[in-house]
Structure 1
Amino acid sequence: MKPSETVLEIDLKALEHNYRYLASKVDDNVKKLAVIKAFAYGSDSVALAKKLESLGVDYFAVAYTQEGIDLRNGGITQPILVLHPQSTHFQEIIDQCLTPSIYSEFVLNHFIASAEANQQKNYPIHLKLNTGLNRLGFDPKEVPMIVEKLKQTSSIKVDGIFSHFAASEDVKEKEFTHHQMDTFKKVSDQLIENLGYRPLRHLCNTSGILNYPEAHLDMVRTGIGLYGYGNSKEVDQQLIPIGTLKTIISQIHNIKKGESVGYNRMFNASKDTKTATLPLGHADGINRIYGKQNTNVSIHGNLAPIIGNVCMDMIMVDITGIDCEEGDEVILFGKDKSAEVFAHNAGTISYELITSISQRVKRKIIP
């Protein structure tokens, strides 16, 4: 059946395939955390979380507090780690039984105050260590401070200790990745010795799961791999993209040699050209970088380059020589036409493309 509008189809069977593939790479006793921030990388966070919960995922992670609240409101009961919480949301975190990542002295002080004000006992937190990514996390030299503050309160308890690889997908950065592993082990061992108990330790992202089995520890985290992309062509062959972005041809134009198409006349026909206008644009996440023939769409298996400037609500493609008509299906990316290829052709990455798909694009869940 032809689509009648722009739609992002989300295949839950593909999600299951990807999860089982990644889970097969770790021991049974290693817990699995699914990263479903940014609307589950541009798809549907609640629908995916429900499916993953049914598959046995132990933990979820989101970036911001509201994302965790949305999951709770959607019926998700597993632990949810908030990776980048802000102190203004600590009351909501406690009310919704979310687990905050504590990454600085400022955040630690404010969360202890919130937990104590709410008369909490052993409220679970995860400590984020900075081992070289230099984005968020405690410096290893801050361990004595962390330990001292934890000893002064019974309101919180460390449920996990974690860090984040900077380049686990890059074979040229193995030495740096091993340095991060060594730093994490040393600092987390120091924390555990002072705590007197052993929290969960987790370090691996998707590429870490695949490339550094010695770093699987107590739990692994996977984000992009769940959605069908593995940061390498070899791994991509083992995964299935869960999202297919489809639209239709709104109108066909016959452009004569010398005529132009779109804003600023950015495309000028060097010969008689046939074009199709599609009902999506940069307001839908197909940004201006994809215009000017930087990438293409698929119509009946034929590639049609995006021409001229991408508009807010429309793009134009060159369909010269393609047998098609108004109302026909157009695929921007999916199982047979990877978002990684679509993005790479325009000089970006699949992460940016799939997480940019606007919420005004209809989501269709394929069970």
Structure 2
Amino acid sequence: MKLFRCQSCGNILYFENRACERCGHRLAYLPETGTVSALEPAGGDAWTPLAVPDRPSRFCTNAEHDACNWLVPPGSDAPFCLACRHNGIIPDVGNAAHLASWQQMEFAKHRLFYALLRWNLPLKTRAEDPEHGLIFNVLADPPEEGQKVMTGHDNGVITIALVEADDAEREKRRHAMGEPYRTLIGHFRHEVGHHYWDLLVRDGGKLDACRAVFGDDSEDYEAALKRHYAEGTPPDWQERYVSAYATTHPWEDFAETWAHYLHIVDTLEMASAFGLSVSPSVDTDREISATIDFDPYAADGIERIVSAWLPFVFALNSVNRAMGNRDLYPFVIAPPVVRKLGFIHDLVHGRA
């Protein structure tokens, strides 16, 4: 994720900003140009982006619910932006609690789409591809006792449990499942990894190459899931997997690695936007030193990404511990995991 600058007053802006705190201009994200722009009214419901004055447009319909700050493509009569057009079921926005939770969901989902659009990954809606189009259903648990909503993926349909937007409930689930990390953006990145396994691996002619790295996905998934919850993880799992859940089945290993690749790249881009470097005075051999001065979305290989990530996250984990917080990134990246991340990198860049 990048930092942005107001075209009217030069103030620093963030991805989710709706208005400039300095000059008061209304703001919007323009996915076609990858920038947050200050706006001027252009008559009716149209706005002129100061970043590209020749491309007036309208806000996504979900801006009415403060759930989106994107403009629809210029010249389009579509009601929704490039991210919200993939929404299927949303919660009842007349329920204030559900609306607030859904807004948090949309903030996370829009960050996901920022990355997917940066890489120009295939993004067809369910209407465009009834079999494999990407659609998100955000569902609230029923008010009465009954089956709770399960977050998951099924042939392009991603279901996210609305309750995951409740920080206390998400922390309760994280603790109950023994997870070191559980966030909304993590759910979105993981589940969309399953979708892109379908599109880029299964349907993209990469099955053999993927199996050589992640293992045989033809293994019975339900049996593997039951075994995981009954027997737990292998004692040496950190030597080969990015997370404990990745040990469940090759599909989950791929989705977890995909999610971590997105975590790493997007976090490094923000570090680069701030001009961060890590150079500990005690590191005379420069073993944990790095300067984040490149665009990780355009990196030509996984080696540069990992060599910058490890010193950077070592420093941030140390800062978090100084505040009494959990590590920002509580995971180990062993050499086999680097190989898996490299497969994801090459797949995203079309070279796997």
TM-score normalized by the length of structure 1:
0.23
Largest Rg, 1 or 2: 1
- TM-score in terms of structure 2 length: 0.24
Which structure dedicates a bigger proportion of its chain to helix?
Answer: 2
More strand by share: 1
